[in-house]
Amino acid sequence: MKVSHEVPIAYLEASNWFNDYDYCLPHLLDLYPDYEKYFREAKQKGRYIIMDNSLHELGEAYNTDRLLYWVNELKPNEFIIPDVWEDAIKSMRNAKEWLHVELPDGVKKVAVVQGKSFSDAIKCYHTYKLLGYEKIAFSYGAGYYHTEMCPHPNRDIGKALGRLLVISKMLEIKAISRSDEIHLLGCSVPQEFLYYKGIEQIKTIDTSNPIMAAFDGTLYNDWGLLEKPKTKIDDVIGDKTNFQVYQKIEHNVETFRKINNL
């Protein structure tokens, strides 16, 4: 599994030593010239780039015209097409429409499984495969992970184990085949990824968890965390370098790798 942790602008250059690839949030490209500068240079250096659609940060996918502008400007290796939070029907409709949207050569379109139940997830995944999507993503925070799949007393643990159960069950019933490629979007608790060991379909993950925990002032335990960090990337994107925070980032990133045997 290749891993990328989203970081504030001041730490982007330093992130090269711990990120396997760069994960781009397009709405930030329009807001911060230094963020744009980093990704333009990353492209020139030949770094692998996955561009999101900023749904998690904005509550809805970023403006379509701006998404297309940045995809054509940066030509990321992968682009996560617009999806609609917990709405399988609209997400599947978007996936069908985006099949006909022409992107630069070499940009792989990635569709995100959405829905309010395991049944929705199955329909979504199956539809994306029928449409020809070669890579499919699973979000971290779907409500049914906890309410339907794993009603653990700790909601964050329930969501982490719930996503694991969704993917495990889809493997069991062969909805996910050997040749499929999967991306995991974010996480509630960092130790979740240890349990995907051996699931070779999972190629990439992105999570700001160790970074946001550092900004919360939280150091990872040897086994991880029990709660998702409160800070979000937009809250700290423009923060200046802080040596004490950076020390916590180093600790959390290194511990993340150890916890998940990466």
Model confidence pLDDT, tens digit, residues 49-86:
999 999 999 999 999 999 999 999 999 999 999 999 99
pLDDT-based confidence at 192, cuts 50/70/90?
very high
pLDDT band at 20 (very low <50, low <70, confident <90, very high): very high
State residue 59's pLDDT score: 95
What's the pLDDT score for residue 107? 98
Architecture of the 2-259 domain = Alpha-Beta Barrel (3.20)
pLDDT at position 105, please?
Answer: 96
pLDDT score of 177 = 96
Tell me whether residue 100 is exposed, middle or buried, using C-beta atoms within 10 angstroms of its C-beta: 0 to 12, 13 to 18, 19 or more. Answer: exposed
Q: Do the Cβ atoms of 165 and 149 come closer than 8 Å?
A: yes
pLDDT (tens digit per residue) in 147-185: 999 999 999 999 999 999 999 999 999 999 999 999 999
Mean pLDDT of 236-255: 96
With cut-offs at 50, 70 and 90, classify the pLDDT of residue 6: very high
Q: 194-203 contacts: CB < 8 A, separation 24 or more?
A: 194/259, 194/260, 194/261, 195/164, 196/1, 196/164, 196/167, 197/260, 197/261, 199/167, 199/171, 201/171, 201/176, 202/1, 202/167, 203/1, 203/2, 203/135
Given this model, what pLDDT does residue 244 score? 96
The pLDDT of residue 252? 98
pTM, rounded to two decimals: 0.96
